[in-house]
Amino acid sequence: MPVDEALTALRIDGERFRADFEALAGIGATGDGGVHRPALSEPHLEARAWFRERVTAAGLRFHTDGAGNHSAVLACGPAGAPTLLLGSHLDSVPYGGRFDGPLGVLAALEALRMVQEAGVSLSVHLEAIDFTDEEGTLFGELGSTALAGTLTAEALRESRGGRATLEAGLARAGLTEAGLLTARRDPASLAGYLELHIEQGPRLADAQVDIGVVTGIVGMASYRLAFVGRADHAGTTSMADRRDAGLGASAFALAAREVVIDDFPGCVANVGDMRFAPGAFNIIPAQVALALEFRAPEPALFRRLEEVLMERARAEAQRFGLGLEVERLGWLDPAPMSKVAQRAFVEAADALGLRHVSLFSGAGHDAQSLASLCPVGMIFVPSVGGASHSPREFTRWADCVNGANVLLQAALRMAIDGARP
Ligand SMILES: [Zn+2]
């Protein structure tokens, strides 16, 4: 991938980038280094208004869509050329950190400003995008699934934050459910999507590596399982005669761990909640509703894990004389990152003299939703101590600048050579 010499010398403006980062970290600040900006809450809308102001102040075109995604657009390609998206999200988990999301949005904005100031023409247009509700306060990866066209009216009815939260959030932001479904983009209009993010784990920091080039994002499934037995007197029913839903659910939780450890390398399973009903000292549990999530790095393994876990749930239910009800609540396929994007990141890191390693993401990101739409790529920068979704989240500023420069240089490589694999 040969790159124009003037462009290989381009670096982001570290001071402007830092001033933006610190101004943004002050919106919804919790006073302990963290921020509280759940999607479409007042502080989140304030952060978005601030971003919009920065976009117009830079002389870039501001764009928003039916899902409330906010963008800066730089028309630096020929008429009718596709757009290369760069971005992340400005929302946070409740009482989260200040790096998760904003780093990628501000690096994207800074990349557009540098290309604009250099006055160069590329083969694509550039767009720095802030996706709505990546963290799933209302609905996980809301803005990016809307843009990818995979968001459905049915899925919105089961929004994981609950209907009332979704409706209130949309109303605050002046959005509608019908509008959400209009945000879909034509794949032909996009050259790709690149995202800079903090690692949210300790691997890069421990290995003292500057950049992690993501090879793929884990698939995630969530299920509600109900083990159904019979309520009886806990004192007068013999141990042999009980149909105890608590035993089936507990046996399944232990079995899920064993199955993954023994037969599914690289996968994880989590039983995050069990609700006992009626739930009393002296009544044998009639029903237990169990929240199961599992993740796998590749499609065949993911489906096999699903099969084996469901078989095990049925077997444990049978063993304790129970019924079993199964409800699938969420399914996101594992998403491989584009080879072209990975190569652009590797070449950019090499050119900048940065150490890099390829790694897999066990956490979900907007890049995952977009993988069905266009070539996507992602890099991580080191998280000190691996902390994330916490005010303790911290990335050294030099690492933030490195990440932004790799993003800029990888975008230029894709913008010059054309992103289609
Ligand atoms: Zn994030």
Nearest to 51 by CA among 96, 85, 88, 83: 88
Neighbours of 401 (CB within 10 A): 19
What digits encode the pLDDT tens for the residues 134-150?
998 888 899 999 999 99
What digits encode the pLDDT tens for the residues 295-315?
999 899 999 999 999 999 999
Q: What is the pLDDT of residue 417?
A: 62
Mean pLDDT of the chain: 94
The CB-based long-range contact list for 53-58 (8 Å cut-off, 24+ gap) reads 54/20, 54/109, 55/109, 55/128, 58/109, 58/112, 58/113, 58/116
Nearest to 346 by CA among 389, 393, 379: 379
Whether pLDDT at 420 is above 70? no
Q: What is the pLDDT of residue 3?
A: 53
| Locus of tokens 């996009």 | 190
Asked if 87 and 130 count as a contact pair (C-beta separation under 8 A), the reply is yes
Whether pLDDT at 161 is above 80? no
Q: How far is the CA of 376 from the centre of ligand 1 (A)?
A: 15
Cα separation of 39 and 182, whole Å?
19
Q: How far is the CA of 3 from the centre of ligand 1 (A)?
A: 30
Return the H-helix or E-strand segment holding 296.
strand 287-296
Whether pLDDT at 419 is above 50? no
What digits encode the pLDDT tens for the residues 226-265?
999 999 999 999 999 999 999 999 999 999 999 999 999 9
Q: How far is the CA of 101 from the centre of ligand 1 (A)?
A: 4
Residue 421's pLDDT band (cuts 50, 70, 90): very low
What digits encode the pLDDT tens for the residues 396-418?
999 999 999 999 999 999 987 64
Q: How far is the CA of 403 from the centre of ligand 1 (A)?
A: 15
DSSP 8-state assignment for residue 243: -
Q: How far is the CA of 192 from the centre of ligand 1 (A)?
A: 19
Q: How far is the CA of 308 from the centre of ligand 1 (A)?
A: 31
Query: Tokens representing 102?
Result: 């904003």
Residue type, 129: I
Nearest to 374 by CA among 185, 143, 182: 185
- List beta partners, residue 86: 128, 194
| Locus of tokens 């009626």 | 278
Cα separation of 369 and 298, whole Å?
15
Query: Tokens representing 136?
Result: 């799933």
What ranges in 174-275 are assigned the alpha helix state H? Answer: 177-180, 203-207, 245-263
